[in-house]
Every structure is written in structure tokens, then in C-alpha cells.
Structure 1
Amino acid sequence: MMSLKPIMTLDELRDFLDREFSQLHIGGRTYHVEAIGPLSARMRMDYHDRHLRPGGTISGPSMMGLADLALYAAILAHIGPVALAVTTSLNFNFLRKPEKRALIAECRLLKLGKRLAVGEVSIYSEGSEDVVCHATGTYSIPDR
């Protein structure tokens, strides 16, 4: 088991993502790492037209991307700047229609081993306590 506390600071994590995953911000920055903590991370996805689907709601793929990115951020915060940690599985349950505002993703790591990390992400419309999407995911951690 790796450290329960993050080994990267919030600023180090943000700088790493900006440098190694800069394509995330093509068209303007909408994803923000807001906090990291013991086996956790919180991300925000700003409300923007590019995240909408027909019918005017935030699209499933946008929520999927937010959940995947929150998992990646939580894992990196705890293992360090390992760009090639990769998603091996993701499962999503869309529970209710998100409101037309920013989304907040709360990620909690359930297992953080040497080779695999497993976590869950709850996504909320900003200002609401109702979960709009629940995701679980597994990441493969490369040999160091």
C-alpha cells in the first residue's frame, strides 16, 4: 500500500496536468483540480456549451471524462507524476439529470496498490447534494 496522504501538492499536480495533459484545455479551460486529500481528490467541470447534448443537458461523455480525470488526479497525487498510469475499467451509473451549472466530482480511492488503483467518483451539480452520476474505475500503475 502506498501513502494514504498525497505526495504531490495541489500546485504540483495542477502543473503536471497542464504540462503533460495540455490537450485537456484545448478550446479553453473547464476542468479544475480543486482539492486533494488522503486518498481523495475533488474536481470541477465548468458549465459550458461544449459539454451539452441534445436536449440541453450535460452529456454522459462529459461526465465520464470528469470522473476519469478525477480518478487520475487522485491517483497521481498519491503516487507522484507517473504520466502513463492508465484506465483499465470504468463503470457509470447515471442517476438523475444534472442541472445547468458546473459539476463537482468527489473521488475516493478504495485501493492503492503497487500495480492497481481502484476508486469511486460521485458527481454533483454545483450547490446540490444529489448525486447525478456514480462511477467506479480501475487504473493500472506502471512499474517504476
Structure 2
Amino acid sequence: MTHAKPRPFTLDELRAYLIEVFPQVWSRGNYAIEEVGPMSASVRLHYHPDHLRPGGTISGPSMFALCDLALYVAILHEIGRVKLAVTTNVSINFLRKPEPADLIGRARLFKLGKRLAVGEVALYSPGQEAMVAHATGTYSIPARGDDAGS
């Protein structure tokens, strides 16, 4: 039996789905999906003083969360309604101190298989060319339908 590749979410469908499955993340208004494309996504972290660490820069945990979320958005855009795609590994390099302002996470997938996705995220301050952080990550994708157990 041949299975058709799932149709990617439109941007509006993806936004609605994420609000449905992760209302706790989206209801605060911290994040916005700016764009999605083939094997890619751009997600914005809206600045809030809660994201700061001592020294007046965006905290590492806030940057990490943006990287993880941007990868998740890029993956879901490609595979559709899969609730239990989960992070198995993320490695992040902090390159420079971002100003207390919004951050943009640009995710790009390198591999998207049946059970594994691998990609990277570059974090930027809006209007700046230099990356503030770079992350690579791997997600586990659960078996779907007839693929269960294979």
C-alpha cells in the first residue's frame, strides 16, 4: 500500500494547530510564526523583560526555546498533524549578546525522514546581519498509521 506524502500546512493552518496543541505556549503572545517554506520556518520571539538575564541581554533559556520551537514549526509544516514529534537533541552555540529586543529564529531542515528530522536554527536580532546564536537539533517523529511498529 502506497501512502501519499502529507500536504504541508498552510501558514494559517499551522498557527491554528499549534494554538490547539500548545495553548500554553501561544496564549502569552511570546512567539509569532513569521513565515514557512519548503523545509524551513522563521519564528519571532517578542521581547519581554522576563526574557532578560543579568547584564541586560536575552537569556540562554529564552534563546534555546526559540531554537527548539523554530525547528518544531519547520517540521510540522512538512509533516502535518503529528502531536508527538519530540526533541531528542539540541546543541546551541551562543555567539554574541543580543540586545534586549525581539529575536528571529530561522530554521532549516537538512533531513526529514519517516522517523527522524535534523536541522539547524540561526538566531538574529532584527536588522542585524551577525548571528547571535546557532543551534542544531534532532527530532523523533512517531510512527503514523500503517507505519506503526516498522
TM-score of the superposed pair, with normalisation by structure 1: 0.94
Distance in 1 of aligned mates of 2:126 and 2:26: 21
Does the residue aligned with 1:75 lie in a helix, a strand or coil?
helix
SS at match of 2:81: coil
**CA 1:57–1:6: 2 relative to 1, 3 Å:** farther
Select the structure of larger CA radius of gyration. 2
Once the two structures are superposed, residues 52-96 of structure 1 have per-residue CA deviations (whole angstroms, 9 ceiling, x without a partner) of 111111000000000000000000000001110000000000000
Q: What is the Cα-based RMSD across aligned positions, in Å?
A: 1.6
Runs of 4+ in structure 1 off by over 4 angstroms are none
Asked if structure 2 preserves the Cα contact closer than 8 Å seen for 1:6 and 1:38, the reply is no
Gaps of 5+ in 1: none
Aligned to 2:114: 114
Give the conservation status (yes or no) of the 8 Å contact 1:117–1:140: yes
Q: Secondary structure at the match of 1:88?
A: strand
Counterpart residue type for residue 74 of structure 2: A
Cα deviation, residue 25, structure 1: 3.4
SS at match of 2:122: strand
Indicate the percent of aligned positions where both proteins have the same amino acid: 60
Deviation string, structure 1 residues 10-30 (Cα, Å, up to 9, x no partner): 00110011110011135x211
| 1:6 to partner: Cα distance | 6.7
Counterpart contact for 2:56–2:99, Cα < 8 Å: no
8 Å Cα contact 2:18-2:26 kept in structure 1: no
Within a 5 Å distance, the mapping from 1:14-33 to structure 2 comes to 14-25=15-26, 28-33=28-33
Give the match for residue 56 of structure 1. 56
Residue 65 of structure 2: aligned partner: 65
> Which runs of 5 or more residues in structure 2 are unaligned?
145-150
Quote the Cα distance in structure 2 between the aligned partners of 1:25 and 1:134.
23
Is 1:124–1:131's contact at 8 Å kept on the other side of the alignment? yes
What is the number of residues matched between the two proteins?
A: 141
Structure 2 partner of 1:12? 13
Secondary structure (helix, strand or coil) at the match of 2:114 reads: coil
TM-score (norm 2): 0.90
Tell me if the contact between 2:91 and 2:136 (Cα under 8 Å) persists in the aligned partners: yes
Q: CA deviation at 1:118?
A: 0.1
- Aligned partners of 1:31 and 1:50: how far apart in 2? 14
